[in-house]
Structure 1
Amino acid sequence: MKLDLWVRLNITMVDDTKISGWTKMCGKHGLAMYNKPFKTLKPIVNDHIDKMNWLAICNRWGETNQIIEVNTSKIKRYVIKECVQPYDTEEEYYAIKEWYRNYMRRRTFLENNGQ
């Protein structure tokens, strides 16, 4: 199962230039993409930007040809517009979707029953 996450960012640089594109974040971020408006994804993106010196921005998710590299120390702010977690097969997509549905049911049950 692929757990890498592609995130589309609208970035405002220190000199007020604007950049928009996709960046790949490696690692296990399975649940973060499901929570809108990306409140749990924001700290993950912050951590990713802090660890990187240069952020590769691409036109489309899954594309390896970068269109620009952004110096992370020059980023003033950013907004997460979209995120995608690619899957190898359609069966894998539906298995993850079913797992997440069951996870949310258990979590809701526990919250409602005070556990």
Structure 2
Amino acid sequence: TMEEDFYRGRLTSRHGLEVLVPPEEDREIIHRVIYDELVVGVIKESSRREYIRIMEGLIAQGAEGIILGCTEIGLLVKDGDVSVPLFDTTRIHAEAAVDEALRA
């Protein structure tokens, strides 16, 4: 999701936001943790620290918020782990679905 235009293009074209993406070596860590650990229910403190380190690197580059663009990432990190808001897309989509269902 990070490498593709799903979020990046829309945030840039619709809202004029600059989207920062972690460097390739950090993206490899992110993908490894997701597919080798989180999707099979393994949550490691060392992986949590790595995610926080990666997010803090983005904040140091000027990020004012972090998109958690994979359903499992919210199992590993939470609001308050870093100094900027975390946007959990799973929660955002679920809240939007509930809002839409209640309008009907």
Higher share in helix: 2
Q: RCO higher in 1 or 2 (8 Å CA, sep ≥ 6)?
A: 1
Higher share in strand: 1
Higher-Rg structure is 1
**Fold-level match, TM-score > 0.5?**
no
